[in-house]
Amino acid sequence: MSNITINVEFLAGTDFTEAVEEAKRKCLQWDVAFVCFKFNGVECSVSRNANAEKLFKWYMHELTGNKKYY
Query: Which distant-in-sequence residues (6+ apart) come within 8 Å of 60 by Cβ?
Result: 69
- Whether the pLDDT of residue 69 is over 80: the answer is no
* pTM beyond cutoff 0.75: yes
The closest of 29, 26, 33, 24 to 2, measured between CA atoms, is: 33
Instruction: State how beta strands 5-7 and 42-46 pair.
Output: unpaired
Confidence of residue 1 (pLDDT cuts 50, 70, 90): confident
Element (H, E) at 39: strand 34-39
Whole-number pLDDT of residue 66: 72
What is the number of H-type helices and E-type strands within the chain? 2, 3
Contact 37, 10 (CB under 8 A): yes
Structure confidence by residue, pLDDT tens digits, 6-27: 999 999 999 999 999 999 999 9
